[in-house]
Amino acid sequence: MNVCIIGAGYVGLTTAAVLAKLGHTVHCIDENEQKIAALQRGEIPIYEPRLAELFTDHQSRLFSHHDGQKHIQEADVIFICVGTPPDVKGKPDVSYVNRAIDMLIPHVSDHQTLVMKSTVPIGTNERIYERLKNEGKHVRVVSNPEFLREGSAVYDSFHPDRIVIGLRDDDDRSLSVMQTLYAGIHAPYVVTSLSGAEMIKYAANAFLATKISFINEMARLCDTYGVDVVDVAKGIGLDGRIGPHFLQAGIGYGGSCFPKDVTALIQMAYEQMVRPYMLEATKAVNDTQINWYVQKMKRTLGELAGRRIAVLGIAFKPNTDDIRESPAVLLINKLHAHGADVIAHDPKATLPHDVAVKQAKTIDEAVKKADALIVATDWDAYKQLNWEEVKRMMNGNAVIDGRNSLPREAIMNAGLHYIGVGRR
């Protein structure tokens, strides 16, 4: 198939690479000329495992353009993969989606299928269909939300748990188009309405965020009762009705999806006069998790002012350079505001320009002479540190495991003081 993708961001680039691997010809279009120029030079603007290799291996079927009128007209399928960032109230800003539709309207024709990958408010795809229809464009509209985890997006694309397809009741062709497009990917199809697919996306992210906030709240209780939250997570996670995933206590969730989508769903509920008590609680726990953990550090370490604190991790999770809504960045800012001398490190991510904290080039540079060490992002490199060597480099002895991912016994055997989240 001939595929056109509007938006060369995280979702757009991953989708493009995967479809090219499946044998389709893919044209990426983005209004950012610098991004397109980088792609045309073979440079991928984001870090995602295996993504650059896919672009290299299938460059004969992958193309990038700033002006894509010709490729829009020739496409069998057009994907919209633009951002929907929150506005000041937390509602999704669909202006990029609207601009994409504005650009498409003069060039699309009735034989084409328009696929929405962007996370959009419930009812958006129906409105897009009606707008196209009013413009005399009888284009089929499909809602096909993505469920990719940053850091494993390529793997998730080839091994999805499900493929969600939202269709209008009168659309008898688009399902077969999507099945042809994804031929070679084996997963159950969930076929629903356009609004149903939009709701599935929000509900999935909200539920996962809720599991994280739940175990973080349990970790607070575990601290007060001297119970190990890791034992609790294992004990409840073995229950098949609960499952073990997303039950790792830590300093909170972040990234481009969970915070945005939970807030968006709350706002959509308010608009329908529904009080979303559980979503409000999920957000409240996450919003206060960093403050709770900083207070725990103060109780353990005393005053933070003047203390040299090494923070390992800047990205919101490992295997990505994404710092959007990163709890690690929030923690760094909080420690700096308390007067700590903070030095940060990350294998891939870079601190924002407005964060007045030094970023070390190596782990050793960050750890040297530190009074305390905090692991804020659970990169494998941090889990595999030589803790005897860490002890020799540090001035202090506090190792603070903000992700409950470090080898506690090895740290304690090295003569260091281990502090976890809800750990005994």
The catalytic site residues sit at: 257
Give SS3 for 179.
Answer: helix
Cα–Cα distance for residue pair 422/59, rounded to 1 Å: 48
Q: What are the structure tokens assigned to 232, written together?
A: 């609790």
Angle at CA 304, nearest 5°, toward 314 and 399?
55
Please classify residue 417 by burial: count the beta carbons closer than 10 Å to its beta carbon, then call 0-12 exposed, 13-18 middle and 19+ buried.
middle
* Cross-strand partners of 372: 309, 398
**CB distance 260 to 121 below 8 Å:** no
Q: How many angstroms separate the Cα of 375 from the Cα of each of 78, 128, 138, 419? A: 42, 45, 53, 11
Of the candidates 69, 85, 83, 2, the one whose C-alpha atom is nearest the C-alpha of residue 35 is 83
* Cross-strand partners of 84: none
What's the chain's Rg over C-alpha atoms? 23
Q: How many angstroms separate the Cα of 282 from the Cα of each of 253, 256, 404, 423? A: 10, 16, 20, 22
- Give the DSSP H or E segment for 366: helix 363-367
Of the candidates 384, 386, 412, the one whose C-alpha atom is nearest the C-alpha of residue 397 is 412
- Give the DSSP H or E segment for 345: strand 341-345
Please classify residue 175 by burial: count the beta carbons closer than 10 Å to its beta carbon, then call 0-12 exposed, 13-18 middle and 19+ buried.
middle
Q: Residues of 132-150 as b/e, b for ≥16 C-beta within 10 angstroms?
A: beeeebebbbbbbbbbbeb
Cα–Cα distance for residue pair 255/253, rounded to 1 Å: 7
